[in-house]
Amino acid sequence: MPKIVDGAAGFVTYELRGEVALIGLNRPKKRNAISDRFVEAINDSVARASAEAKAGVIHGHGPHFCAGLDLSEHSEKPLFEAVKGSRRWHAVFNTIERGTIPFVSALTGATVGGGFELAASTQIRVADSTAFFALPEGQRGIFVGGGGSVRIARLIGPARMGDMMLTGRVLSADAMERWGGVTYVTEEGKALERAIEVASQMATNAEFTNYAIINALPRIADMSAEDGLFAESMVASLATMTDDAKDRLRAFLEKRAAKVQAPGDG
């Protein structure tokens, strides 16, 4: 059974299932709306998962993943406190995006505003058919502050993100998959199950390779082509020097490892 994280004021549950950590947003009566204290609870859970697991899943308790920022808290903040709060969200979400283990988000119902920003910090997003996506900041008189202008814009493009923010457009899981913001779409009620399957698969990878994919790949994407190719050579050479890689390559050459097969080949 999942347990409340110590010091998290009940905001987050944590469960270790094999080599996969399950982090549950646990404020269902508020549609898991995020506050600064909630972000700190997420931070504690991510740190624990990074120490104990090889992959993680972030999901929401109740019908919704996360309806975004808790506006009742945000409206009371002085200007500089709001700046510091946003920068703290950036730092915490960065430990998910560029940490030591990969994360999957299981998305249901509202994945809105800050909830979409949190999902965008995970490496893979699994949405069921109930999930819907929106960035209503334009209608609220505010602006994204949890990294969305970088992470979401890079997933779906700044023009599409601008459309969502300017018009209040709401997208279904299928539409968001077409736009590139969702990786997998499942039938209703299956997002968490599929997310755990994906995370379990990632947990079998070499730890250094997972780390390189999380940390090197997005940085290479920000480089010039020539710089990116140079960085790729360095990371590729480092990866082959690990004991894990040597063991896995030896197993493949000795025909003890499964070969890659086309879809449907069994």
State the Cα–Cα distance between residues 37 and 8, nearest whole angstrom.
8
Instruction: Check 15, 137, 188, 254 and give the catalytic one.
Output: 137
**Neighbour count for residue 20 (Cβ, 10 Å):** 24
- Residue 137 falls in the annotated catalytic set: yes
Residue 190: phi and psi, rounded to 5, are -110, 0
Sign of torsion, CA 145 150 153 155? negative
State the Cα–Cα distance between residues 28 and 244, nearest whole angstrom.
41
- The torsion region of residue 121 among left (phi > 0), alpha (psi -120 to 50) and beta comes to alpha
CA–CA distances in Å: residue 229 to residues 54, 217, 222, 236: 28, 11, 12, 10
Pairing of strands 132-134, 20-25: unpaired
- Residue 177 falls in the annotated catalytic set: no
Closest CA to 132 of 165, 101, 175: 175
Instruction: Check 52, 73, 117, 207 and give the catalytic one.
Output: 117
What residues act catalytically? 117, 137
